[in-house]
Amino acid sequence: MEPLRIGVLAVQGNFREHVQMLRRLGAEAVEVRKPDQLDGLDGLIIPGGESTTFTRLMHLYGLDEAIRRFDRPVFGTCAGMIVLDRNHLGLVDLVVRRNAFGRQVASFETDLDVAGLSTPVRAVFIRAPWVEEVGPGVEVLAEVAGRPVLIRDGRFLLAAFHPELTDDTRLHELFLESVREADVVRA
């Protein structure tokens, strides 16, 4: 079986940890800094970082339009979740609130029950967003304090936390599975 080719948006933020995790899982990881680097990819990860910086740099390099045209599965984590919502790239039918957990608990770790997984996922939240409003097609896979923090909307998987910062590879595996399924549909 050919390894999957997964792009990781690498303009800023936590892209290296995603690249390492993808390689650990046997995928080919490609750092994406220019629009043409999206060509031929099976999927894309948009990492955590600073969403305002992402928005500025994506626009500067023409990556915003290129990501809008990209029609493969996308995994967004933290800032990567923010830039996909209705108020940014507008690709996922939800509204995200930045830095939602407030100053006191800006960063924390918790064991998260995730729909479909038999044991909890250790989730690292760093100045994390939560989901304020979801459209009807959006599937909520995990919540903290009644707020969605892991969702699926068709080919999009979004996490408010950082699955690339722990040794637990299950969410990346879940994403790679959806990439493989999308490849089957395309073939």
Catalog residues that contact ligand GLN under the rule CB under 6 A.
48-51, 78-79, 82, 98-99, 126-127
> Out of 17, 78, 88, 172, which one is annotated catalytic?
78
**Catalytic annotation present for 88:** no
Nearer to ligand GLN, 4 or 48 (CB): 48
**Catalytic annotation present for 162:** yes
The answer to whether 162 and 48 are in contact (CB under 8 A) is: yes
**Catalytic annotation present for 50:** no
Nearer to ligand GLN, 57 or 126 (CB): 126
Nearer to ligand GLN, 55 or 183 (CB): 55
One-letter amino acid for residue 68 of the chain: R
> Out of 162, 173, 177, 181, which one is annotated catalytic?
162
Candidates 53, 77, 43; CA nearest to 150 is 77
Candidates 186, 183, 158, 163; CA nearest to 3 is 183
Q: How far is the CB of 175 from ligand GLN (least distance, A)?
A: 17
Nearer to ligand GLN, 106 or 145 (CB): 106
Q: How far is the CB of 144 from ligand GLN (least distance, A)?
A: 15
Q: How far is the CB of 47 from ligand GLN (least distance, A)?
A: 8
Q: What does the longest C-alpha to C-alpha distance in the chain come to?
A: 49
Task: Report, as residue numbers or ranges, the catalytic residues.
Answer: 78, 162, 164
